[in-house]
Structure 1
Amino acid sequence: MWQALAAILSIAYCIPAQATAAHLAEAMAWQSPSMAWAPPRSLAAAGDGVLDPATRWQPVALPAARERRTPSATPGDGTPPQVWWLRMQVPASALAPTPQGPRLYIPRWHTLGNAAVYVDGRLAWQSRGSRVLVSFNQPVWLDLGGDVRPDQPLTVHVRMASAQGAGGALSSLWAGPAEELRAGWRLRSLLQSDLLAYVRGANLVLGVLALAVWLARRRQGETGYLLFFLMSLSHVFGTSLFLVDAEGFGLDDSWFTWLTMAGSLSASTCAFLLLCRIQGRRYPRLARALLLYVATAALALLPLWSPPLGAFLPLVRLAQIPAALPLVGAAVAGAWRLRAWPHVLLAAMMVLLFPLWLHDLAMQSFRVSAEHIYATPYLYAGVIAMFLAAAFQRYQQAAREAEQARAVLAERLADQERELGRTHERLRAAERQQTLMHERQRLMREMHDGVGSSLMSALRVVQHGQAEVDVAQVLKECIDDLKISIDSLEPVDADLLALLAGLRFRLEQRLGEAGIALRWHTRDVPPLPWLDAQSALHVLRILQEVLTNIVKHSGATAITVSTAEAACGGAPGVHVCVRDDGRPFTPPTALPPGRRGLGNVRARARALDARCDWAPQAHGTVFTLWLPLQRGPARGTPATA
Structure 2
Amino acid sequence: MAVSRRWRWLGVILAVLAIGVASMPLWLTLPVPPQALVIDQARFLEAGLAPQQVDLPHAQGSRHVQGRYRMDFELAQAPAQPLYLFIPMFSYRAVVELDGDVVLDTGADSLVPGVMLGASALLRLSGGGLAAGRHTLDIQLQAPGIARGYLSALYVGTAQQLAPYHRLRVLVFEHTRMMVLACQLLLLVATLMVWMYRPREFLYGWLFLLLGVSTASYAGLLADIVPDVFDWLPYAFTISMSSVFILHVIALEINGATPPFWLRACVAAVPGACLLAMASGMVPAGALMIGVVTPIMVVSPLITVAISAWGALVKKVQEAWLLLLPLCFFSLATLHDGAIVAGMLDGPVFLSLYYRQLLIMAIAAILMRRLGLSLTGLDGANAHLKETLAEREAELYRLYEEERGEAARRVRSEERHRLTEDLHDGLSGHLASIIALAERGHATGIERTAREALDDLRLVIHSLDIGDRELMAALSGLRERLEPRLRRLGVNLEWSMARLPEISGVTPAHALNTLRIVQEAVTNALRHGPASHIAVRGDTGPQGVALITVDNDGAPYADAGECGVGLQNMRRRAAFLGGTLRVEALAAGTRVTLTLPPRLSGDEADACPEGS
Counterpart position of 1:347? 324
Residues 31 and 404 of structure 1, relative CA distance in 2, 3 Å threshold: same
- Tell me, in whole angstroms, the C-alpha distance in 2 between the residues paired with 1:603 and 1:199: 93
Contact 1:253 1:310 (C-alpha < 8 Å) held by counterparts: no
Which position in structure 2 is the counterpart of 1:537? 512
* Conserved? CA contact 1:22–1:94, under 8 Å: no
C-alpha distance in 1 between matches for 2:148 and 2:198: 52
Preserved CA contact (<8 Å) 2:500 2:538: yes
User: What secondary structure sits across from 2:279 in the alignment?
Assistant: coil
Alignment of structure 1 residues 159-174 onto 2, 5 Å? 159-161=140-142, 167-174=148-155
Deviation (angstroms), 1:118: 1.6
Letter of the 2:337 counterpart: D
Alignment of 1:425-504 (within 5 A): 425-461=401-437, 465=440, 470-504=445-479
Aligned position for 1:26 = 41
**Which amino acid is 2:58 matched to?**
A
Letter in 1 for 2:44: A
Structure-1 separation of matches of 2:269 and 2:299: 12
Instruction: Measure the CA separation in 2 of the matches of 1:633 and 1:300.
Output: 87
Post-superposition shift, 1:321? 5.0
Q: Aligned partners of 2:78 and 2:411: how far apart in 1?
A: 111
- The within-5 A match list for 1:63-74 is 63-68=57-62
Q: Deviations over 1:432-461 (max 9, x none)?
A: 322222222222222232323333444455
Given the superposition, is the C-alpha separation of residues 180 and 480 from structure 1 closer, same or farther in structure 2, using an over 3 Å criterion? Answer: same
Query: What is the distance in 2 between the residues matched to 1:518 and 1:128?
Result: 122
Q: For residues 504-548 of structure 1, what are the alpha-carbon distances to aligned partners after superposition, in whole Å with 9 as ceiling and x for unaligned?
A: 233222222222222332327654331012222221122122121
Instruction: State how far apart, in whole Å, the 1-side matches of 2:589 and 2:552 are.
Output: 5
For residue 107 of structure 1, report the CA deviation from its aligned partner: 3.5
Paired residue for 1:282? 256
Give 1:236's aligned residue.
Answer: 215
Q: Which has the higher helix share?
A: 2
State the SS of the aligned residue for 1:215. helix
CA contact (8 A) 2:90 2:152 kept: yes
TM-score (normalised: structure 1): 0.78
Q: Answer yes or no: is 1:383 the counterpart of 2:364.
A: no
Contact in 1 for aligned 2:309/2:324 (Cα 8 Å): yes
- Return the offset for 1:191: 1.8
Aligned to 2:99: 120
Alignment partners' CA distance in 1, 2:371 and 2:228: 41
Give a deviation string over 1:278-323, Cα, whole Å, max 9, x none. Answer: x4x4322x34232122222112111323534345524322223565
2:257 paired with 1:292: no
Instruction: After TM superposition, give the deviation of residue 549 of structure 1 in Å.
Output: 1.3
The superposition leaves residues 327-353 of structure 1 with CA deviations (integer Å, 9 ceiling, x where unpaired) of 43443345446675x753431111222
Q: CA RMSD in A?
A: 3.6
Change in CA separation of 1:493 and 1:131 when aligned onto 2, cut-off 3 Å: closer
What is the CA–CA distance in structure 1 between the aligned matches of 2:392 and 2:143, rounded to whole Å? Answer: 82
SS of aligned partner of 1:193: helix
Distance 1:467 1:131, change over 3 A: closer
Please tell me whether the aligned partners of residues 455 and 478 of structure 1 are also in contact (alpha carbons under 8 angstroms): yes
Distance 1:82-1:379 versus aligned 2 partners, 3 A rule: closer
Aligned residue number for residue 21 of structure 2: none
What is the TM-score of this pair, normalised by structure 2? Answer: 0.82
Judged with a 3 Å threshold, the aligned counterparts in structure 2 of structure 1 residues 163 and 386 are, in CA distance, closer, same or farther, namely closer
Measured after TM superposition, the shift of residue 370 of structure 1 is 1.9
Q: Is the 8 A contact 1:116 1:160 kept in 2?
A: yes
Task: Give a deviation string over 1:597-625, Cα, whole Å, max 9, x none.
Answer: 22222222222222333455554444333
In structure 2, the CA distance between the partners of 1:633 and 1:612, relative to structure 1 (3 Å rule), is: closer
**Native 8 Å contact 1:67 1:367 kept in 2:** no
- Distance in 2 (CA, whole Å) between partners of 1:514 and 1:94 is 151
What are the residue-to-residue correspondences of 1:183-332 with 2, within 5 Å? 183-218=164-199, 221-237=200-216, 239-240=217-218, 243-244=220-221, 247=224, 249=226, 253=230, 255-266=232-243, 268-274=244-250, 279=254, 281-284=255-258, 286-302=259-275, 303-305=278-280, 307-315=283-291, 316-320=293-297, 323-325=300-302, 327-332=304-309
Does the residue aligned with 1:32 lie in a helix, a strand or coil?
A: coil
| Distance in 2 (alpha carbons) for counterparts of 1:32 and 1:369 | 22
- 1:364, distance to aligned residue in structure 2 (A): 3.1
Residues 546, 595 of structure 2: 8 Å contact kept:
yes
Q: State whether structure 2 residue 569 is matched by structure 1 residue 600.
A: yes
User: Which letter does structure 2 place at the counterpart of 1:575?
Assistant: L
1:24 counterpart letter in structure 2:
I
SS at match of 2:535: strand
Q: Is the alpha carbon distance of 1:486 and 1:186 closer, same or farther for their aligned partners in structure 2, counting shifts above 3 Å? A: same
CA pair 352-19 structure 1, distance change in 2 beyond 3 A? closer
Is 1:579 the counterpart of 2:573? The answer is no
Deviation at residue 121 of structure 1 after TM alignment: 0.8
Counterpart of 1:556 in structure 2 is: 531
Contact 1:211 1:229 in 2 (8 A): yes
Q: Distance in 1 between matches of 2:358 and 2:76?
A: 43
**Structure 2 counterpart SS, 1:146:** coil
Q: Supply the distance in 1 between the matched residues of 2:192 and 2:77 (Cα, whole angstroms).
A: 54
- Tell me, in whole angstroms, the C-alpha distance in 2 between the residues paired with 1:389 and 1:383: 10
Letter in 2 for 1:149: L
Letter in 2 for 1:66: Q
Question: SS in structure 1 opposite 2:141?
Answer: strand
Give the Å deviation of 1:127. 4.4
Paired-residue identity, % = 26
**CA deviation string 1:103-134 (max 9, x = no partner):** 323344336xx542222112223343599846
Query: What is the alpha-carbon distance in structure 1 between the residues aligned to residue 428 and residue 76 of structure 2?
Result: 136
